[in-house]
Structure 1
Amino acid sequence: MPEMPEVQGLVDFLAARATGLAPTKATVANIAALKTYDPPLDALIGSPVTAVARHGKFIDLATDAGYHLIFHLAKAGWLRWYEQLPSTVIRPGKTPIALRVAFDDGSGFDLTEAGTKKSLAVYSVRDPQDVPGIARLGPDPLADTFTRDALAELLAGRRTHIKGVLRDQSVIAGIGNAYSDEILHAARMSPYALAASLDAADIDRLATAVDRTLREAVTAASGKPPADLKDAKRRGMAVHGRRGETCPVCGDEVRSVFFADNSLEYCPTCQTGGKLLADRRLSRLLK
């Protein structure tokens, strides 16, 4: 799943490549992906892109007509950029392409989604806050206002496992399953620690881990074209997606806990005092 660092990488790429270009066509191949009808996608045609921004894991292309093309790549979506957009006809239901956007210099991009569970979402709006997912977002962890004390305030009183808190977009915007694993490993903290139980030293470590992990990942993603971002993410992971491999810090084996539709990875020595966490395949905890 694309998370905040990779989404920021896409934003930086699009800002450098698409700013000043005017969309000439926007073709929806998966009608279920389009979540809005007013303004229509055609309202974007002919209006140059003035800015590209990120809201959590949403990407926002603003145009000089005041309209915004916003999309969320969900679990299996991605952006494929073309310097020369293919002329092939998109056949709805016969392609992984959900949306194709053409620009006036011949370039453009496809939004694609793998798998059978389709949750990629596209919005045409006048204001980003008109997108419900954006309106519900918590603070951005890389904002100047996201201080150690701000994090402490968010965690206070939450009798919820810290893994779930980090993934909750209404609490902190942009952190998903992968980077919550990486942050907790860097903070030497169990994913099952209760947020409200963390002491001052725990919060210090967690705040440092959030900032350092995300900033390093954003730096690693910066300047890379979309085709290279996924591999860069995988190479940078210490524990996520590395079940059975060696922890780069202590040498212990990285372990997994499986849930109904995802998993988490952790190092027992670094994070749980050597304790192995039980399989929670039937749990609803981290949904």
Structure 2
Amino acid sequence: MPEMPEVQGLVDFLAARATGLEITKATMASFSALKTYDPPIDALKGTTVTAARRHGKFVDLETDAGTHLVFHLAKAGWLRWYEQLPATVIRPGKTPIALRVGFDDGSGFDLTEAGTKKSLAVYVVRDPAEVPGVARLGPDPLDDTFTLEVFAGLLAGRRTQIKGVLRDQSIIAGVGNAYSDEILHAAKMSPYALAANLDDADVARLYDAMRTTLTDAVTQASGKPPADLKDAKRRGMAVHGRRGEACPVCGDEVRSVFFADNSLEYCPTCQTGGKLVADRRLSRLLK
């Protein structure tokens, strides 16, 4: 799933490449992906892109008509950019393409989604706050106002595992499964530690790890075209997606815990005192 650094990379790319261009095409190929009806998708045609912004994991293209094209790529979605948009007709239900947007200089992009579970979401709104997922977002962890004190306040009293807290978009916006693994590894903290049990030193260490990990990842994503962002993300991971490999810090084997259709990765030596994390249903450490 694209998370804050990759989404910020997409936003930076779109801000540089699409700002000032007129939208000449906005075609849905997956009608289930369009979550709004007023304004209609056709209202984007003839408008000019004035800005690109990020709200958590949402991309927001603003136009001079006051309409916003907002989209969330979900787990398996991506943006494919073309300097020359293909002239082929997209057939609903026969393609991984959910939305095609074209500009007056011939360029454009497709929003695509792999797999059978379709979660990619597209919204055309007059205000990004009309998108439910945007309206309930917590603070952005790289915002200047997101201080250690703010972070500590968000954790205080939460009898919730810290892995879940980091992933909860209503608490902190933009962090998902991959970067929560990376942040916890950098902080040398178990994913099953309870937020309410962290002392001041733990909170400060986790805060620094989050800010550093995300800042470095955003820097790595900056300036890269969409086609290169996924590989850049994978190369930058220390533990996520690296089950069975050696931890780059201590050399121990990176382990996984599987749950639903996802997994978390961690280093026992760095994060759990050498203990292996138990089955997900137990949510406790093996004795």
Q: TM-score range by the shorter chain?
A: over 0.9
In structure 2, the partner of 1:11 is 11
Letter in 2 for 1:95: T
In structure 2, the partner of 1:218 is 218
Aligned pairs, number: 284
Percentage identity across aligned positions?
Answer: 82
Query: Shift in Å at residue 32 of structure 1?
Result: 0.2
Query: Shift in Å at residue 224 of structure 1?
Result: 0.3
In structure 2, the partner of 1:268 is 268
In structure 1, the partner of 2:173 is 173
Structure 2 unaligned residues grouped into runs of 5+ = none
Query: What is the distance in 1 between the residues matched to 2:41 and 2:98?
Result: 14
Query: Shift in Å at residue 174 of structure 1?
Result: 0.2
In structure 2, the partner of 1:144 is 144
Query: What is the distance in 1 between the residues matched to 2:23 and 2:196?
Result: 48
Query: Shift in Å at residue 260 of structure 1?
Result: 1.6
Contact residue 80 and residue 111 of structure 1 kept, 8 A: yes
Once superposed, what is the RMSD of the aligned Cα atoms?
A: 1.1
Query: Shift in Å at residue 44 of structure 1?
Result: 1.2
Contact residue 260 and residue 284 of structure 1 kept, 8 A: no
In structure 2, the partner of 1:278 is 278
In structure 1, the partner of 2:188 is 188
Letter in 2 for 1:194: L
Query: What is the distance in 2 between the residues matched to 1:101 and 1:219?
Result: 27
Contact residue 259 and residue 283 of structure 1 kept, 8 A: no
Query: What is the distance in 1 between the residues matched to 2:118 and 2:24?
Result: 26
Map Cα deviations across residues 202-227 of structure 1 (whole Å, 9 max, x no partner). Answer: 01100100100000000000000000
Query: Shift in Å at residue 43 of structure 1?
Result: 1.1
Query: Shift in Å at residue 279 of structure 1?
Result: 2.4
Query: What is the distance in 2 between the residues matched to 1:94 and 1:207?
Result: 45
Structure 2 residue matching 1:250: 3-state secondary structure: coil
Query: What is the distance in 2 between the residues matched to 1:261 and 1:29?
Result: 26
- Alignment of 1:47 with 2:30, yes or no, is no
Map Cα deviations across residues 223-257 of structure 1 (whole Å, 9 max, x no partner). Answer: 00000000000000000000000000001000001
In structure 2, the partner of 1:157 is 157
Query: What is the distance in 1 between the residues matched to 2:120 and 2:141?
Result: 23
Query: Shift in Å at residue 283 of structure 1?
Result: 7.5
Letter in 2 for 1:163: K
Aligned residue runs from structure 1 range 66-85, under 5 A: 66-85=66-85
Contact residue 192 and residue 283 of structure 2 kept, 8 A: no
Contact residue 181 and residue 240 of structure 2 kept, 8 A: yes
Contact residue 260 and residue 283 of structure 1 kept, 8 A: no
Query: What is the distance in 2 between the residues matched to 1:284 and 1:67?
Result: 45
Contact residue 99 and residue 111 of structure 2 kept, 8 A: yes
Aligned residue runs from structure 1 range 61-100, under 5 A: 61-100=61-100
Letter in 2 for 1:190: S
Label 1:283 to 1:88 Cα distance change in 2 as closer, same or farther (>3 A): farther
Label 1:219 to 1:37 Cα distance change in 2 as closer, same or farther (>3 A): same
Query: Shift in Å at residue 261 of structure 1?
Result: 1.8
Runs of at least 4 residues off by over 2 Å: 282-285
Query: Shift in Å at residue 101 of structure 1?
Result: 0.3
